[in-house]
Amino acid sequence: MSQSAEAALPSTSTEWHNSLREQVSSLVHLIALTDPQPWMNLDLTMPQFKVLLLLWHLRRARVGVLAEKLGVHLSTIGGILDRLVEAGFVCREDDAEDRRLVVSRLTDKGEAMLVRLYDGRVTEMNDRIERLSGDEAAALDSGLKALLAQW
């Protein structure tokens, strides 16, 4: 490593953490800017997309839970769910714990659409990882393992 590169390295833990935060922020920004076309081609409103993301995260949810998480009225969620069911992205089923209640969940089509959107980002990242040297890849592997262990 050259002297100028060594001089550019952070010298304290705080400087390392600040540097890492800046790099992660830059990386997330670049990932977000990666080809937006698959996202632009979605025939969904933002509220519909938010419901899909919530269901992907929660796996299944009652209407009241979705309304609360989005901060909207029950009737609003009902209409959004109706359109998502009609499009084949969501289905409704009896709650296994209380048969009087109904839960919504993603269909295979809904989950596949979300996976496809995010997999495009993964492909972009993998293309760039392939360009790293062996030492760079090993360092990234070690760092990502440490970061993922925090989840």
Q: Which residues, in sequence order, are CB contacts of 64 under 8 Å at separation 6+? A: 74
Nearest alpha-carbon partner for 113 in 33, 48, 65, 20: 48
Q: Give the integer Cα–Cα distance in Å for 78 and 82.
A: 6
Query: Other C-beta atoms within 10 Å of 106: how many?
Result: 22
**pLDDT 10s digit of each residue in the chain, 151 long?**
444 455 566 677 788 778 888 888 888 778 777 777 777 788 899 999 999 999 999 999 999 999 999 999 999 999 999 999 999 999 999 877 777 888 999 999 999 999 888 887 788 888 888 999 999 999 988 888 888 888 8
Q: What share of the chain is helix, strand, coil (3-state, %, to 5)?
A: 70, 10, 25
For the chain, list the domains and their CATH numbers: 39-151 (1.10.10.10)
Radius of gyration of the chain, Cα coordinates, nearest whole angstrom: 21
Return all residues near 48 (Cβ < 8 A) that are at least 6 apart: 80, 83, 84
